Structure 1
Amino acid sequence: MILKEYPDREFMMVSLADRIASELRQALAQGPATLSVPGGTTPGPVFDILSDLDLDWANVSVLLNDERWVGEDSPRSNTRLLRERLLRKRAASARLVPLHAPVPSPEEALEALSAQVEAALPISVLLLGMGADMHTASLFPGADRLEEALAPEAPALMALRAEAAGEPRITLTARVLRDAMHCHVLITGEEKRAALERAETLTDAEAPIRIVLKNATIHWAP
């Protein structure tokens, strides 16, 4: 694990956006690239910067780490946030790999969504977040199928449910996250810094963020 500390969040967001753009350019020099990103408000400033950078966005597939099973009209939709903050300006030509469909449960759409995800793999650049409970993507401690999602033979995409998650979730599995060519984890504040340190003493099931720590660069600001 490589830990990069920044004096403030603004500097971190600019530096991280520049790093992601550089790694995407390297990947694009070899062909199409895939960028996988988290939902939530924390990475929003990174998305704002990336959206206006001069990249070959038409050859970039953008894939969420996970999605709540809600429509894009919901303020809790990660896809909605992605459209508002990243898939605009120059990045509007990127291809969104969907993680939601207008059906009642994620299981009903899992096969079709999985096929599109598999076609976009491996991930060229992966950006993850982490909760204070040490979950990443929708791999929550205590989730109903967490053990399956952490297994080396897991499918690329799974539907999981956890008390802490609220809605049913659809998420990339540990296998896919580990296989990313470049991996970054974005965290802020003392609580998450302490959680990250605690994760190193726990099991993967207790602290799912552990699945990427060996290969990740952690970006932290107060």
Structure 2
Amino acid sequence: MARGKTMTYDLQTYPDREMLAMDLANQLSGDLRMLLKHEDRVVLAVPGGTSPGPVFDDLCAADLDWSRVDVMLTDERWVPEDSDRSNTKLIRKRLLVDRAAAARLLPLYVPAHQPEEVLAELEAQIVDALPLAVVLLGMGTDMHTASIFPGADQLDLALAHDAPILVPMRAPGAPEPRITLSARVLNDAIRKHVLIFGADKRDALDNAKGKKPEDAPIIAVLDGATVHWAE
């Protein structure tokens, strides 16, 4: 997002988290269904962590042609897939089941000591599927999104207008390397949704306004997004 540009987003609030999960799953499936009318295949990018799990539980049963959907993560911790910290493990268990088992996973992890060793291999599986059709993002209280953290070692690269598809990231407080889609790729999605829970994250969203993306990375992808919030 260019500095000085007016940023607009749609904030939708819900009475509880269960209602949010059901409605957000309906919106995501509706977006995918609409875009599949015009495209042979579409890409859905989703976050890991605990917040989107209930959304996945509803979304996986959506009645759409999942065989034409590529699913990928917005970011991944550089850990084996059998690790409890693996986002890939999460989406295999909670999203790529039921009707959504027919979707194709575009991986963000293959066995290697460091993400840099296999970056080209991973990007080669993604490049022809871009742009993202639908992206679901989270946000931390530090205003990071995906694995684009304030203070991360390659923050400038991840936020650059000519950023690569994938950026390896190491951030203070993160116990392992990460790999993340760049802000450019995330922001180019046709439909963007952001999921946040709790007063702290609502305050963080409000505090992000007017900040530079380097200080509040969520700003780089927020314009034109729909933000879904419940206490």
TM-score above 0.5: yes
Q: Which of 7, 11, 14 matches 2:15?
A: 7
TM-score of the two chains, using structure 2 as the length reference: 0.95
Q: Which of 18, 33, 37 matches 1:25?
A: 33
Are the aligned partners of 1:61 and 1:97 in contact in 2 as well (CA < 8 Å)? Answer: yes
Letter of the 2:24 counterpart? L
The residue number in structure 2 matching 1:96 is 105
- Displacement of 1:83 after TM fit? 0.2
Q: Which of 179, 182, 191 matches 2:191?
A: 182
Are the aligned partners of 1:129 and 1:187 in contact in 2 as well (CA < 8 Å)? Answer: yes
Match of 1:131, SS state, is coil
Letter of the 1:176 counterpart? V
- Displacement of 1:53 after TM fit? 1.5
The residue number in structure 2 matching 1:211 is 220
The 4+ residue runs of structure 1 with deviation greater than 6 A are none
Q: State the alpha-carbon separation in 1 of the partners of residues 173 and 159 from structure 2.
A: 18
Q: State the alpha-carbon separation in 2 of the partners of residues 167 and 19 from structure 1.
A: 33
For the pair 1:220 / 2:220, whether they are aligned, the reply is no
Question: RMSD of aligned C-alpha atoms?
Answer: 0.7
- Displacement of 1:70 after TM fit? 0.2
For the pair 1:198 / 2:207, whether they are aligned, the reply is yes
The residue number in structure 1 matching 2:177 is 168
Q: Deviations over 1:167-206 (max 9, x none)?
A: 1000000110110000000000000000000011311000
Identical amino acids, percent of aligned pairs: 57
Q: Deviations over 1:193-222 (max 9, x none)?
A: 000000113110000000122111110000
Q: State the alpha-carbon separation in 1 of the partners of residues 176 and 145 from structure 2.
A: 16
Q: Which runs of 5+ in 1 are unaligned?
A: none
Q: Which runs of 5+ in 2 are unaligned?
A: 1-8
- Displacement of 1:164 after TM fit? 2.7
The residue number in structure 2 matching 1:84 is 93
Q: State the alpha-carbon separation in 2 of the partners of residues 87 and 170 from structure 1.
A: 21
Letter of the 1:14 counterpart? M
- Displacement of 1:119 after TM fit? 1.8
Match of 1:165, SS state, is coil
Paired residues for 1:48-197 under 5 Å: 48-197=57-206
Q: State the alpha-carbon separation in 1 of the partners of residues 181 and 142 from structure 2.
A: 18
TM-score of the two chains, using structure 1 as the length reference: 0.98
Q: State the alpha-carbon separation in 2 of the partners of residues 133 and 94 from structure 1.
A: 33
Letter of the 1:209 counterpart? I
Q: State the alpha-carbon separation in 2 of the partners of residues 118 and 209 from structure 1.
A: 23
